[in-house]
Chains A and B, each alone.
Chain A
Amino acid sequence: MEQVQSLVNEICPTSTQAWVKRGAILVDVREQNEVDQLAFDVPAIIHIPLSEFEIRYKELAMDKELVLVCRSGSRSLRAAGFLINHGFDPVKVVNMKHGILRWVQRGFPTKGDLSGIVDMNTGGCCDHGGNKGSGCC
């Protein structure tokens, strides 16, 4: 579901590739079990699960370009909004729309098992690998 909001700039996976090439860091907010199954294969990535984000967000450098990512773009949107509300630059912090689902569809590099993505595609908004740590969606 498309979520309309004006706080966070959002970019697609293709634009994310351009951001990565110029040195942006991907911030993956999916839970550990999801990342263990399938991870983004990019040069610079930090994993901070959403369930730990409130206490660990200070690990992120405020002067770097950050692209927040998750499974579908919903959790990462909230995390990006959280960063901006905590003083991060809204020009440098963006959300990647549609998450790893669209990233995989576009054929961009990943590490791990793609079968879970196919399975998860058929699930509802709160189905992401039986994850219990992230709260809803």
Chain B
Amino acid sequence: MNIKVLGPGCAKCKTTYNNVLEAIRQTGVEAQVEKIEDIEEMMKYNVLTTPVLMIDEVARIKGRVADVKEIRELLTQ
């Protein structure tokens, strides 16, 4: 599984990233996690509102912090 957190590096993006790490720890899912802060890279994904949580190249949550519980659910679907 490939997970990306897209955002300019603000507090909301960092919280989302940390929540992803925690959800992975809780579920034991094997995943590569990447934080994308580069604007050029973000625009390739057509990002408007951030943070964006992408799982296997699909944007699952946009424009808000994803909490650990919902990330856990997304990881185990």
Contact = CB atoms under 8 A, between A and B. Distances in A.
Interface of A: 3-8, 50-51, 53-54, 74-75, 77-79, 81-82, 85-86, 124-126, 134-137
Interface of B: 7-8, 10-13, 39-40, 42-44, 46-51, 62-64
A59 to B, nearest CB: 15
Given A4-B40, A6-B40, A8-B43, A54 B10 contact: no
A137 B10 contact: yes
A78 B48 contact: yes
Contacts of A54: 48
B40 A51 contact: no
B8 A135 contact: no
A136 B12 CA distance: 7
9 contacts: A50-B49, A53-B48, A86-B46, A124-B10, A134-B49, A135-B63, A136-B49, A137-B10, A137-B50
Max chain B CB contacts within 10 Å: which of A8, A81, A124?
A81
Contacts of B43: 5, 7-8, 77-78, 81-82, 85
Contact of B49 (A81, A124, A135): A135
B51 A135 contact: yes
